[in-house]
A = this chain, B = another copy of it.
Amino acid sequence: MHASFITIGQLAKRTGVAVSALRFYEEKGLLDPIRTGGNQRRFLRGDIRRVSFILIAQKLGLGLAEIEDHLAALPQGRNPTLADWQKISRQMRVQIDEKIKLLNRTRNQLDQCIGCGCLSLEKCRLYNKDDKLGLKGPGPRAVLD
A positions within 8 Å CB-CB of B: 13-17, 48-49, 52-53, 55-56, 59-61, 82, 85-86, 89-90, 92-93, 96-97, 99-100, 103-104, 106-107, 109-111, 113-114, 117, 119-121, 136-144
Contacts and interface: CB of A to CB of B under 8 A. Distances in A.
Instruction: State the number of copies, please.
Output: 2
A14 B141 CA distance: 11
Contact of A59 (B55, B89, B106): B106
A85 B14 contact: no
6 contacts: A15-B138, A16-B141, A55-B143, A56-B140, A85-B119, A89-B113
Contacts of A138: 13-16
